[in-house]
């Protein structure tokens, strides 16, 4: 495929040096070689691009690389995705059930499923078409997995949970473990049974070693198209709306409600029983203890609106000077009293 053909396929505009070539791959600016295409999404990387060995670039209009073949796109990732799909399309395994897999009774397996070594599928499970289940996965009784979903190795889906279509669960994900619910009864810390389920809607992706607990009585639900990073904790009864992003090590306590298209940055923590409005953003390491309105941006612990937090930070930097001046005033007043 030539560079000009790439431009046609992604709906881009050719610009810069008029030089066509056979595209042999896509890479970062640092790793490019002649014949490869790289990408520049910001003017910050223009100097680096000019030194790159790449033969051409996917760029925005503001980040045009001078005197080099370029394809202008509104979003360079559209072109990167096309090239990644072209050069690095994952090989789809042949449909099979490995002889070491244990499949229970009344299990429905869709067409073209692939089940790897030492998988355990309990009774009354429904597995959709073209599902891939990696080695050492566990699927509990009564669970359902939708079409075209992919369970990487060591995923655990516990009983009666539901996984939608085109869901990706990375290694070590646990769906439907008991929620963390204990009460003091007769002076003893007593476990409250967790008899609900967890539901993962279509097109969700969950990162490695993330845990999504089942509900106490009803359901924990992750909305369509939501993306969750590694090492996150989603507690019982939580609801996350469609198209949200949860970054690594974030934790959401029980029964909290996250709206649609929300963003929780790394290590953000939310207490139980609060609501976060649609399109709200929570900054890294923020500790949220109250409801967050729609379209708001909160930072800090306890979390406050971002502008308020920035004013607080500005005052933090003044504290040493304030402390010095306060000490001088105290010494001055003490001297006046002595006189």
> What's the pLDDT tens digit per position in 152-183?
999 999 999 999 999 999 999 999 999 999 99
The pLDDT of residue 316 is 87
pLDDT in the model for residue 339? 58
CB 218 within 8 Å of CB 203: no
pLDDT tens digits, 58-91: 999 999 999 999 999 999 999 999 999 999 988 8
For residue 268, pLDDT over 70 is answered with yes
Q: Residue 87: helix, strand or coil by DSSP?
A: helix
Q: Please list, residue by residue across 57-95, b when 16 or more beta carbons sit within 10 angstroms of its beta carbon and e when fewer do.
A: bbbbeebbbeebbbbbbeebeebbebbeeeeeeeeeeeb
The architecture of the domain spanning 96-308 is 3 Solenoid (2.160)
pLDDT at residue 336 is higher than 80 = no
Q: Could you report the per-residue pLDDT of 135-153, keeping only the tens digit for each?
A: 999 999 999 999 999 999 9
Convert the pLDDT of each residue in 184-210 to its tens digit. Answer: 999 999 999 999 999 999 999 999 999
User: Coil, helix or strand for 10?
Assistant: helix
pLDDT of the residue at 338: 62
Express as a percent the part of the chain with pLDDT over 90.
92
Residue 258: strand pairing partners: 240, 276
The pLDDT of residue 4 is above 70: yes
The CATH code of the domain at 3-87 is: 3.40.1390.10
Query: Per-residue pLDDT for 229 more than 70?
Result: yes
pLDDT at 94: 87
Across the chain, mean pLDDT equals 96
Q: What is the mean pLDDT of residues 112-131?
A: 98
Token duo for residue 11: 């709906």
Tell me the domain boundaries of the chain.
3-87, 96-308
- To the query of whether residue 141 is one of the catalytic residues in this protein, the response is no
């Amino acid at each position: 495929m030539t560079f000009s053909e790439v431009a046609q396929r992604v709906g881009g505009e050719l610009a810069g040096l008029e030089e066509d070539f056979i595209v042999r791959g896509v890479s970062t600016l640092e790793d490019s070689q002649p014949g490869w295409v790289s990408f520049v999404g910001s003017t910050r990387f223009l100097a680096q691009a000019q030194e790159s060995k790449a033969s051409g670039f996917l760029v925005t209009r503001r980040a045009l690389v001078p005197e080099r073949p370029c394809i202008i796109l509104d979003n360079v990732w559209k072109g990167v995705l096309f090239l990644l799909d072209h050069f690095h399309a994952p090989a789809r395994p042949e449909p099979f059930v490995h002889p070491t897999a244990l499949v229970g009774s009344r299990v429905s397996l869709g067409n073209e499923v692939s089940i790897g070594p030492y998988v355990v599928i309990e009774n009354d499970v429904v597995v959709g078409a073209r599902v891939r289940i990696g080695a050492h996965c566990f699927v509990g009784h009564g669970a359902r997995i939708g079409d075209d979903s992919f369970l990487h190795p060591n995923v655990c889906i516990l009983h009666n949970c539901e996984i939608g279509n085109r869901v990706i669960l990375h290694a070590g994900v646990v769906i439907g473990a008991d929620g963390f619910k204990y009460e003091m009864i007769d002076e003893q810390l007593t476990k409250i049974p967790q008899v609900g389920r967890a539901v993962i809607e279509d097109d969700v992706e969950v990162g490695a070693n993330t845990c999504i607990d089942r509900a106490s009585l009803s359901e924990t639900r992750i909305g369509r198209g939501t993306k969750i990073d590694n090492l996150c904790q989603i507690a019982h009864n939580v609801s996350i709306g469609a198209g949200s992003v949860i970054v690594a090590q974030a934790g959401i306590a029980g029964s909290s409600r996250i709206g649609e298209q929300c963003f929780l940055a790394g290590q953000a923590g939310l207490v139980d029983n609060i609501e976060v409005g649609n399109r709200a953003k929570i900054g890294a390491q923020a500790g949220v203890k109250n409801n967050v309105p729609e379209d708001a941006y909160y930072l800090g612990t306890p979390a406050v609106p971002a502008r308020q937090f920035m004013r607080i930070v500005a005052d933090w930097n003044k504290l040493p000077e304030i402390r010095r001046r306060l000490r001088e005033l105290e010494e001055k007043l003490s001297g006046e009293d002595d006189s």
